[in-house]
Amino acid sequence: MKKILVLCTGNSCRSQIAEGYLKYFAEDKAVVYSAGVETHGVNKMAIQTMLEDGIDISNQTSNHVDEYLDIEFDFVITVCDNAKEKCPYFPVKSKIVHKNFEDPSKFVGSEAESKERFRESRNQIKAFCRTFVSDYIL
Protein backbone atom coordinates (compact mmCIF):
# COMPACT_ATOMS: atom_id res chain seq x y z
CA MET A 1 0.00 0.00 0.00
CA LYS A 2 1.38 3.41 -1.01
CA LYS A 3 1.75 6.25 1.51
CA ILE A 4 1.05 9.76 0.24
CA LEU A 5 1.59 13.10 1.96
CA VAL A 6 -0.03 16.22 0.51
CA LEU A 7 1.80 19.33 1.64
CA CYS A 8 0.59 22.93 1.53
CA THR A 9 1.17 26.16 3.42
CA GLY A 10 -1.61 26.10 6.02
CA ASN A 11 -3.21 22.67 5.51
CA SER A 12 -6.62 24.30 5.33
CA CYS A 13 -7.86 24.24 1.71
CA ARG A 14 -5.85 22.84 -1.19
CA SER A 15 -4.14 20.02 0.66
CA GLN A 16 -7.39 19.11 2.44
CA ILE A 17 -9.26 18.94 -0.87
CA ALA A 18 -6.45 16.87 -2.40
CA GLU A 19 -6.45 14.51 0.58
CA GLY A 20 -10.18 13.96 0.13
CA TYR A 21 -9.92 13.22 -3.59
CA LEU A 22 -6.81 11.05 -3.30
CA LYS A 23 -8.57 8.91 -0.68
CA TYR A 24 -11.64 8.72 -2.90
CA PHE A 25 -9.82 7.80 -6.12
CA ALA A 26 -7.19 5.49 -4.57
CA GLU A 27 -9.73 3.72 -2.34
CA ASP A 28 -7.85 1.08 -0.33
CA LYS A 29 -4.65 1.22 -2.41
CA ALA A 30 -3.11 4.17 -0.55
CA VAL A 31 -2.93 5.81 2.85
CA VAL A 32 -3.23 9.56 2.44
CA TYR A 33 -2.14 12.28 4.85
CA SER A 34 -2.05 16.04 4.51
CA ALA A 35 -0.04 18.63 6.35
CA GLY A 36 1.15 22.20 6.22
CA VAL A 37 4.30 24.10 6.93
CA GLU A 38 1.85 25.98 9.20
CA THR A 39 -1.60 24.93 10.49
CA HIS A 40 -4.69 27.05 9.96
CA GLY A 41 -7.54 24.58 10.58
CA VAL A 42 -9.74 23.06 7.88
CA ASN A 43 -11.46 25.84 5.93
CA LYS A 44 -15.27 25.75 6.17
CA MET A 45 -15.68 26.75 2.53
CA ALA A 46 -13.42 23.83 1.50
CA ILE A 47 -15.65 21.48 3.49
CA GLN A 48 -18.82 22.89 1.89
CA THR A 49 -17.34 22.80 -1.61
CA MET A 50 -16.32 19.17 -1.23
CA LEU A 51 -19.76 18.23 0.14
CA GLU A 52 -21.24 19.64 -3.09
CA ASP A 53 -19.24 16.92 -4.88
CA GLY A 54 -20.28 14.19 -2.43
CA ILE A 55 -17.06 14.00 -0.40
CA ASP A 56 -17.05 14.75 3.32
CA ILE A 57 -13.75 16.14 4.61
CA SER A 58 -15.22 17.57 7.81
CA ASN A 59 -13.42 14.99 9.97
CA GLN A 60 -9.99 15.74 8.48
CA THR A 61 -7.58 17.67 10.68
CA SER A 62 -5.04 20.39 10.03
CA ASN A 63 -1.59 18.99 10.85
CA HIS A 64 1.96 20.30 10.82
CA VAL A 65 4.43 18.52 8.54
CA ASP A 66 6.74 17.85 11.52
CA GLU A 67 4.17 15.32 12.79
CA TYR A 68 4.98 13.06 9.84
CA LEU A 69 8.77 13.25 9.52
CA ASP A 70 9.16 9.68 10.78
CA ILE A 71 6.85 8.17 8.13
CA GLU A 72 8.41 6.81 4.94
CA PHE A 73 6.19 8.23 2.22
CA ASP A 74 6.19 6.88 -1.29
CA PHE A 75 4.98 10.27 -2.56
CA VAL A 76 5.07 13.81 -1.23
CA ILE A 77 2.81 16.09 -3.25
CA THR A 78 3.28 19.82 -2.81
CA VAL A 79 0.22 21.78 -3.93
CA CYS A 80 1.63 25.28 -3.60
CA ASP A 81 4.93 26.93 -4.39
CA ASN A 82 5.44 28.07 -0.78
CA ALA A 83 5.23 24.50 0.52
CA LYS A 84 7.60 23.31 -2.21
CA GLU A 85 10.17 25.91 -1.15
CA LYS A 86 9.79 25.09 2.56
CA CYS A 87 9.38 21.34 2.18
CA PRO A 88 11.49 19.55 4.76
CA TYR A 89 13.91 16.86 3.73
CA PHE A 90 12.27 13.51 3.08
CA PRO A 91 14.17 10.27 2.44
CA VAL A 92 15.30 9.61 -1.11
CA LYS A 93 12.59 6.96 -1.38
CA SER A 94 9.89 9.66 -1.47
CA LYS A 95 9.00 10.84 -4.95
CA ILE A 96 8.27 14.57 -4.82
CA VAL A 97 5.47 15.73 -7.12
CA HIS A 98 4.66 19.43 -7.40
CA LYS A 99 1.58 21.15 -8.79
CA ASN A 100 0.83 24.72 -7.76
CA PHE A 101 -2.81 25.60 -7.20
CA GLU A 102 -4.04 29.10 -6.43
CA ASP A 103 -5.28 29.50 -2.84
CA PRO A 104 -9.05 30.11 -3.03
CA SER A 105 -9.13 31.37 0.56
CA LYS A 106 -7.02 34.38 -0.46
CA PHE A 107 -9.62 35.54 -3.01
CA VAL A 108 -11.31 38.85 -2.20
CA GLY A 109 -14.83 39.27 -3.53
CA SER A 110 -18.48 38.57 -2.85
CA GLU A 111 -19.58 35.35 -1.17
CA ALA A 112 -20.90 34.04 -4.50
CA GLU A 113 -17.60 34.85 -6.24
CA SER A 114 -15.68 33.23 -3.40
CA LYS A 115 -17.75 30.05 -3.67
CA GLU A 116 -17.09 29.96 -7.40
CA ARG A 117 -13.34 30.36 -6.82
CA PHE A 118 -13.42 27.41 -4.40
CA ARG A 119 -15.30 25.33 -6.98
CA GLU A 120 -12.72 26.17 -9.66
CA SER A 121 -9.86 25.17 -7.35
CA ARG A 122 -11.69 22.02 -6.29
CA ASN A 123 -12.22 20.98 -9.91
CA GLN A 124 -8.56 21.60 -10.80
CA ILE A 125 -7.39 19.59 -7.78
CA LYS A 126 -9.89 16.83 -8.56
CA ALA A 127 -8.54 16.47 -12.11
CA PHE A 128 -4.95 16.42 -10.83
CA CYS A 129 -5.76 13.77 -8.19
CA ARG A 130 -7.61 11.55 -10.66
CA THR A 131 -4.61 11.63 -13.00
CA PHE A 132 -2.11 11.13 -10.18
CA VAL A 133 -3.91 8.03 -8.90
CA SER A 134 -4.25 6.65 -12.42
CA ASP A 135 -0.55 7.24 -13.16
CA TYR A 136 1.03 6.20 -9.86
CA ILE A 137 -1.37 4.14 -7.73
CA LEU A 138 -3.64 1.98 -9.88
What letter would DSSP give residue 88? Answer: P
Known catalytic membership, residue 13: no
CB distance 34 to 18 below 8 Å? yes
Angle at 49 between CA 45 and CA 50, to 5 degrees: 120
Active site residue 87: yes
Give the number of other CB atoms < 10 A from CB of residue 107.
16
How far is it, in rounded angstroms, from Cα 116 to Cα 122?
10
From the candidates 26, 37, 46, 80, which is the catalytic residue?
80
Q: Identify whether 8 is a catalytic site residue.
A: yes
List 40, 74, 86, 87, catalytic entry: 87
Residue 112 CB contacts under 8 Å (≥ 6 apart), including other chains: none
CA 118 to each of CA 56, 75, 76, 86, 108: distance values in angstroms, whole numbers, following the listed order: 15, 25, 23, 24, 12
Q: Which of 6, 7, 8, 47 is labelled catalytic? A: 8
Residues annotated catalytic, as ranges: 8, 80, 87
